[in-house]
Structure formats: C-alpha cells, structure tokens
Amino acid sequence: MTLSTRRQAKRAARREARRALPFWRRLLPTWRVTLGTLTALILLAVGAFAVLYVIVPVPDPNAHAVAQNNIYLYADGTTEIARTGAVNRTDVTIDQIPLQTQQAVVSAEDRSFYQNRGIDLKGMLRAGWNTLLGRGMQGGSTITQQYVKNYYLTQDRTIERKGRELLIALKVDQQRDKREILAGYLNSSYFGRGAYGIQSAAHAYYGVDVSQLTLGQGAYLASLLQAPSLYDVRTATPANREKAVARWNYALDGMVQLGFLTPADRAATTFPDPIDPQPATGLAGQAGYLVGVADDYLISSGTLDAATLKAGGWRITTTFDQPRQNAFAKAVQDQLTGELDPQARPDTDTDVRAAGASVEPATGRVVAVYGGPDYAKQPYNDALRQDNQIGSTFKPIDLAAGLVAQHSPDGRPITTESRYDGTSERPVTGGPTPYAPPNEDDIDYGNITLRYAMVKSVNSVYAQEGVDAGLARVRETAVKLGIPDAVRGMDPANTSMTLGTATPSALDLAGAYATLADHGQAHTPWSVLKLERVNPGGAVDVPKMPEHNPTQALDREIADSVTDVLRDVISPHGTGAAALDLGRPAAGKTGTTDSNLSAWFAGYTPELATTVGLFREHPKTHAKEPLSGTAGLTRINGGTFPTRIWTAYMTAALNGTPTQDFDLQAGHGAPEATPWPTAPVSTTPSATTTPTGGAPTNTDPAPGTPPGHAPGAPATTAQPAPGPTAPSPQATKPTTDPEQPSPAPKPTPPQPTRPTTLPSATGAPTSRPAAPPTP
C-alpha cells in the first residue's frame, strides 16, 4: 500500500468514525479545525497590529501641550474680567529633578516603569476586570501611556483613543530613553493650583525650585498626580485630606518595596504640609474672586473637571454685573475700610475682613460677590468660605420651621404673633442639651410676640421657638432654603443650633434669603451663563450647562409671612434701622455671634438678595479674633458696618430701577396681630397689659400709630385678608443706632425697653436647670 493510499484510508476511517458520533457532537469542530482557526486569528491579529504599528505615527504635540488662556467675561458678554489658564509650566531636565522625587513618582504611578515596554498588559487586564466588577473605572495606564495621552493625544475616553495610545506608547518606549520619558511625563502633568509640570508644582506647593525638593515633598507631589485638586491638603475636605496622606504613604511604602528607600529613612519621614495657595498673576483686584466663584460653580456642578478647565482655551461668560460688582467693592471701601485706622488702633483695626454676595431671587443668578479687597494681596475668597457662624441671621429659619410645624409639642399654635417669654437667660425646655442664652445687654423683655422678638432679635425667645418647631425640622428647613447640609453647626443634637451656630458662606446665605424673597421658590445660586472653546482644528466645544429650575422649599404663605416679619426689622425700632436709608421696601435680619467673632446683615428687596459678613482673622494662624474695638467701637453688631455696607451697595445696585413692593400672601399671624411696642426709650419701665380673650395688644403705641397697627407692618384683622398685603412703609432713620448698647439698666418689670441685639451662637450649652415656658 502506497503512502497516498494509506492517507486516504485514514481520512476515510476518520469520516466514518465522525458519522458514528451523535448529531450534537458532529456539530462541534474537531481539534484540528479549532487549532487552525485560532492560529489563523492570531496570525491575522499579529499582522493587523504590525500594519497599525507601521502606519500610526507619533503625532505632533496636542493642543493641551500648548494650551490657551481662559477668558472670563462679565454678563454683558464683552467686558473682560480676567484671562487665566495659560499653561503655568517651566520644563526641566531629568537631572534637575531629585532622584528620590523621580523614584516617588514611579512608586506612586507605575512600579513596573523601568521593566515594562511602554504598556503593562497585566495591569490593563486587572483594571479591565475591576471595571467589569463595578469597582469603578480603572486606568491601568503606565507612565509612558499617561505621557502619550497628555502630550500627544486628548483626555477623551474612547476605544479609538485608547488603541492609539497603546501603539504610540510602544513606539515612544522603543524610540526614547526611560529617563527622557519620565522627564516628559513630569513636565506635562497637572499637579493642581494651576501648575503644569514638576517645576511649577514645586513653586506652587513649597515655594522652592524643583532641585530643592525633599524626600517628603517629592512624595507629596507624586501623590497629587492621582487627584490634583482633591488632594491639595490646604483646601481639601477632611476626608480628602486623609486620602491625600494615605496616597503619600503609599508612595513611600512603594519606594521601600522597590528598594529605593530604607525602612529607617521611611520611618523618619514626616508629612510636609505645603504652603498656602498663592495668587495667580493677572487676577488682582476683584477679578480673582470672581474667577474663583465661576470656577467653583463649573467644577461643583460637574460641567467641567478641574484639569479640563485649567487646560485653558475656554471663553466663560459669567453672571456678574460689572456696575454692581464695582458698587460692592466701593461700599466696603466707603463704609468700612475708610473708617479703619490700623496705625492708631493696630490691635483692633487690622485683619478686618468682609464677605458678601448678591443674588437675583427670581433666577438664582449671582450678580456680585465680595471676596476680599485684592486677590493679589489676599488670595482667599471670603465669599465662599464656610467657617464663620451666622448668628441671628438664622432666626428667620427658626420662624419658618415653626410656621411649617404650626404647633409646638404641647399643642400651642405657632404664628408670627405667638407670644413667648423673653426673659434673658431663661432655660430652654424640651431641648436635647441644656441651654439658657442671654439676650443682648441681659435685657428682660417679658411676654412678647415672635414678630417683636425678631425685630429686637431676642435670643431667649427664638432658642425656645426653634425647639418647639423641632430641631430636625429647623435643619430640614434650612437645607431646603439653600443652606448646605454639610456645613458645621447644624446638628439637631445641640439646642444652640437655633441661634446660628451654622457656618454657611456668604453666597450660601444669600441663596437662602433669595428663596424667602421669591415666595419660597429655591434656586441654587449659579454664576456662569455660557461656556465655549474653539479647538485648534476649528471645532467648537459647547458643554451642556445645568438647568436652573426652582424647587418649592416653602409654601408661599409661610415664606411671605417670614418676609412680613423681616420687614419690621428694617424700621426705626428694629436692629436693621440703618437700612432705612435704602428708601425702598426691604426685609432683612442682623446677626452677631458670641465673643463678637462675626457680624452679619442679610436682607432683600423683591429684586435682589444680598448678604454682608464681617470678621477678623489672624493672617498666619487663621484664628478668629473678636471684632470688639474695631473703628473705636466697643462692639460691632450686624446693625452697624454690615448693614451700612448692605445699604450702600443696594442703593447703587438698584439705582435707576423702578421701586417694587413686596407682593405678599402672608397668612400665619394670630387672629389679631399684636403690634410691637413703640414707646420712647426710657429708664423707667412700665407694665405690660395683656387683655383677656383673643390676642394681646400693645397698650402704648407710638405717637401717630393707629391702634392695632405696627409701624412697618400691615394692619391685621380678625381674619387675614386674602391677596397680597400692603408694603411696609419706610420710616425715617432714628438718630440713635439701635444696634449699639443701650444705656438703660436692666428693667425689673417685663416691659420691653429699646435694647440692642446680640444673638448667642455658642455651641456650649449652659448648665442651668430647665424651667417650664411662660404661657
């Protein structure tokens, strides 16, 4: 039998054997077919890869490598605020970068860098598997791949871009030395604080040349590469600071693992805190603060990430109105800075800082902010900081929560005319912690309404009313109005929350008051109208901007009832009397915190809601210092400089616009609204008469005031009239400042005299025993 015959016989036998198999088995390919198919596919893939490797070139540097400026514009779309975003980068050679800094970067970013060929298949497979398991998007990129992405490609997350990245990384690794690749990566990477490249990062975080970086400093810069903005420990949240320090430890531990560092040297290395952020050039005056608010909005809203924004090329039209912005800065200069004399009073007139924000209630647009006098000299944006207690500007939130609750736990109705015991240091009942706050100047007010207690900012009343409303409800109301739920001082476990231990920013507080001004409709304040970028190829990027649909935070009647009460604060007898100079219907509230650490005025007209805060801060330790003695005054209350600044700014901001009245539908007063006392100031108190049956009325109205009417408040009858109430008349400003301490001694009868206001915002409760409230 010939060889050919034997082969034919074997094939015939195999065919007969296959025909004898079950049908399902005959559908499966033989091992020869399977092996042949796999071999063909592998050869095809290798061939395709070889072709792609040849035809895909190493491109020229991308637009990111030669990034443009960001241009910020006022709301008119033409007037320029500032130009930023030009790449802050100075290239250095690998020999200028300390070896330990190089090793820390390798340890943190790609521990196989010196062994891999530009890509790490094992790392990519591991990252892909973790992504499929839902453990978050995993990169798996080597340092070479990241350099290729930063320098040659884009940040787009597409399969096509990733494929090109792999091919170019292989070529770059073949064509260039590892030291050259590492230098390119460190010169092109973003480290936060507007710093591109290791040299700029060394200056931005430690104020030194890259060659002077210590082991710990180099390891910290290496840790920033994973999340530049989030891991800046000077501005990070406590949680992100912990992550940043953990990443720093990871880098150092990796250096020990790779043999770059001895365990003894590792143990001796301590975390090197960076310096405070320094101002960028071109952001002097108010420009830097406006840019900061716009950037914060774009990043926090998810419109852009920090790296994309800092890469530059964006044309950003903001909501800021230039005349109003200039008016805000001028108001602070005229009403505050011009009154300070640091040379004559170096212990009190230095380090005084103001914060402010102005928001359109109907839209939520931020039209102006005041973050400081000059960004080039003070690169901290005080309009955005959340570390100053707001004091009695929180009391309207207590009142709103009470109107939502309608009744106290013992069944008493809560209206704007409900009566409370205004005795100073009266222990609060029913609270989670003991609390007996004093009224300003320790004045006893006796049995007064919630309206009058707001006008005089009576601490003992609103401490109890907030507890009656329910501290959890007070917190919920604050968050609905626009106070961020993460700010400190809003813990319902502390009774003192009722008097303003919360620390929202000036912009947060302006947003909350804008909600009251817009009848309970809440807009999250926003500061960017339009965003676009023209790419080198001519294509235009226009990211989708967030929508600004309002939410109903409060029923209209409740919000309008609070506004109705706050109008009375701006009256000859209210703590906000200085705002009468505005000459328009307005509502607002003063606030002063314990130890005179801050003073506030928050107020609004139908067109504009504005807040102004005042505080002192040590320039190096950032510790809060009392305002007492500022400008030679014994005490700085919310009714002084903050109200004066607010009034000067609002006068200019609303100049030329028609005067608008509040269109109120208030319906949460008592059957007979009680006017608050208007008797002249006297050192001889008189008794208060409380009639029987119905709501009590004041027996000593101001001259010319009709019975049953409160100055600055609409008349009320047995049933609230439907429809909007009449606007508050604006009376002449009194000759004495109602926020300054009254010379009158503490009265023995409970008739309220004309005291001043000092909200207590301390978080430390007193230990006085509880006593039942006075009916």
Give the helix ranges, DSSP H, for 534-681: 556-569, 641-653
Contacts of 422 (CB under 8 A, 6+ apart): 439, 444, 445, 446, 447, 448, 453, 458, 460, 461, 750, 752
Cβ burial, residue 293 (10 Å; 0-12/13-18/19+): buried
CA distance to 103, 151, 169, 179, 213, per residue, from 94 (Å): 12, 17, 19, 7, 14
Q: Which residues are catalytically annotated?
A: 109, 392
β-strand 352-359 against 609-617: which pairing, if any?
Answer: antiparallel
Contacts of 144 (CB under 8 A, 6+ apart): 110, 113, 116, 118, 119, 169, 172, 173, 181, 185
Q: Where are any strands of DSSP class E within 518-671?
A: 521-522, 528-534, 540-541, 551-552, 587-592, 598-604, 609-617, 624-625
Question: How far is residue 313's CA from residue 5's CA, in Å, rounded to a whole number?
Answer: 77
Give the helix ranges, DSSP H, for 529-640: 556-569
Q: What share of the chain is helix, strand, coil (3-state, %, to 5)?
A: 40, 10, 50
Question: How far is residue 765's CA from residue 436's CA, in Å, rounded to a whole number?
Answer: 7
Q: What is the DSSP string of 742-765?
A: P-SPPPSSS------------SS-
Burial 196-227 (b: 16+ CB within 10 A, else e): bbbbbbbbbbbeeebeebebbbbbbbbbbbbb
Cβ atoms of residues 465 and 399 within 8 Å: yes
Give the distance from CA 351 to its chain's centroid: 23
Question: Residue 59 half-sphere exposure, CB side, CA atoms within 13 Å?
Answer: 17
Cβ atoms of residues 629 and 432 within 8 Å: no
Cβ atoms of residues 417 and 695 within 8 Å: yes
Burial 246-276 (b: 16+ CB within 10 A, else e): ebbebbbebbbeeebbeeeebeebeebebee
